[in-house]
Amino acid sequence: MMIKRRDFLAASATVAGVASLGIRPSFAQAEPAYKPESGASLRLLRWSPFVKGDEDAWLANTKKFTDATGVQVRVDKESWEDIRPKAAVAANVGSGPDLVMCWFDDAHQYPDKLMDLTDLAGYLGGKYGGWYDGVKGYASRGDKFIAMPLAAIGNAVVYRDSHMKAAGFSEFPKDTAGFLELCKAMKAKGTPAGFPHGKAVGDGNNYAHWLLWSHGGKMVDESGKVTINSPETLASINYAKQLYATFIPGTESWQDINNNRAFLAGQVSLIANGVSVYYAAKNDPKLADIAKDIRSTNFPIGPVGKSVELHQTSSMLLFKHTKYPEAAKAYIKFMMEADQMNAWIQGSSAYCCPPLKEFAKNPIWTADPIHAPYARASETLRPNGYAGPLGYASAATMADYVLVDMYAAAVTGASSPEDAMKEAERRANRYYRV
Could you tell me which residues come within 8 angstroms of residue 182 by beta carbon, excluding any fewer than 6 positions away? 164, 167, 169, 172, 173, 270
The answer to whether residue 389 sits within a structural domain is no
Residues 112 and 10 in one domain: yes
The answer to whether residue 434 sits within a structural domain is no
Enclosing domain of residue 195 = 156-310+400-429
Residues 135 and 213 in one domain: no
Statement: residue 399 has pLDDT above 60: yes
- Taking alpha carbons only, the member of 397, 432, 391 closest to residue 138 is 391
The reported pTM is 0.90
Instruction: Give per-residue pLDDT as tens, 284-316.
Output: 999 999 999 999 999 999 999 999 999 999 999
Cis peptide bond N-terminal to 387, omega within 30: yes
Residues 46 and 192 in one domain: no
Statement: residue 14 has pLDDT above 60: no
**Looking at residue 24, what is its pLDDT?**
43
Beta bridge partners of 352: 153
Residue 160 Cα distances to 174, 208, 271, angstroms: 16, 23, 10
Residues 182 and 116 in one domain: no
Statement: residue 240 has pLDDT above 70: yes
Could you tell me which residues come within 8 angstroms of residue 131 by beta carbon, excluding any fewer than 6 positions away? 121, 125, 149, 355, 356, 357
List alpha helices for 215-298, DSSP H. 231-244, 258-264, 276-282, 288-293
Instruction: Give per-residue pLDDT as tens, 145-198.
Output: 999 999 999 999 999 999 999 999 999 999 999 999 999 999 999 999 999 999
Structural contact between residues 128 and 338, judged by C-beta atoms closer than 8 angstroms: yes
**Looking at residue 10, what is its pLDDT?**
40
Instruction: Give per-residue pLDDT as tens, 353-370.
Output: 999 999 999 999 999 999
**Looking at residue 22, what is its pLDDT?**
43
The answer to whether residue 394 sits within a structural domain is no
Residues 65 and 164 in one domain: no
Residues 369 and 336 in one domain: yes
Residues 337 and 421 in one domain: no
DSSP secondary structure of 170-221: SS--SBHHHHHHHHHHHHHTT--B----S--TTHHHHHHHHHHHHTT--SB-
**Looking at residue 434, what is its pLDDT?**
56
Distance, in Å, from the CA atom of 229 to the CA atom of 87, rounded to the nearest integer, reads 31
Phi then psi for 270, rounded to 5 degrees? -155, 120
Statement: residue 1 has pLDDT above 70: no
Which of the 8 DSSP states describes residue 414? S
Distance, in Å, from the CA atom of 171 to the CA atom of 301, rounded to the nearest integer, reads 15
The answer to whether residue 387 sits within a structural domain is no
Structural contact between residues 296 and 157, judged by C-beta atoms closer than 8 angstroms: yes
Residues 221 and 303 in one domain: yes
Distance, in Å, from the CA atom of 303 to the CA atom of 330, rounded to the nearest integer, reads 47
Statement: residue 346 has pLDDT above 90: yes
The answer to whether residue 384 sits within a structural domain is no
Residues 188 and 318 in one domain: no
**Looking at residue 28, what is its pLDDT?**
57
The answer to whether residue 80 sits within a structural domain is yes
Percentages helix, strand, coil for the chain (3-state, rounded to 5) are: 50, 15, 40
The answer to whether residue 247 sits within a structural domain is yes
Residues 413 and 330 in one domain: no
**Looking at residue 29, what is its pLDDT?**
76
Residues 331 and 243 in one domain: no
**Looking at residue 433, what is its pLDDT?**
86
Instruction: Give how many domains the chain has, as a whole number.
Output: 2
Statement: residue 18 has pLDDT above 80: no
Write the CATH number for 22.
3.40.190.10
Statement: residue 7 has pLDDT above 60: no
More confident residue, 5 or 106: 106
The answer to whether residue 69 sits within a structural domain is yes
Q: Give the β-pairing of 352-353 and 144-145.
A: unpaired
Statement: residue 16 has pLDDT above 90: no
Instruction: Give per-residue pLDDT as tens, 227-239.
Output: 999 999 999 999 9
Residues 123 and 197 in one domain: no
**Looking at residue 15, what is its pLDDT?**
36
Distance, in Å, from the CA atom of 209 to the CA atom of 134, rounded to the nearest integer, reads 15
C-alpha dihedral sign at 49, 119, 19, 334: negative
Could you tell me which residues come within 8 angstroms of residue 325 by beta carbon, excluding any fewer than 6 positions away? 115, 318
Distance, in Å, from the CA atom of 246 to the CA atom of 194, rounded to the nearest integer, reads 8
Statement: residue 205 has pLDDT above 80: yes
Mean pLDDT of the chain: 93
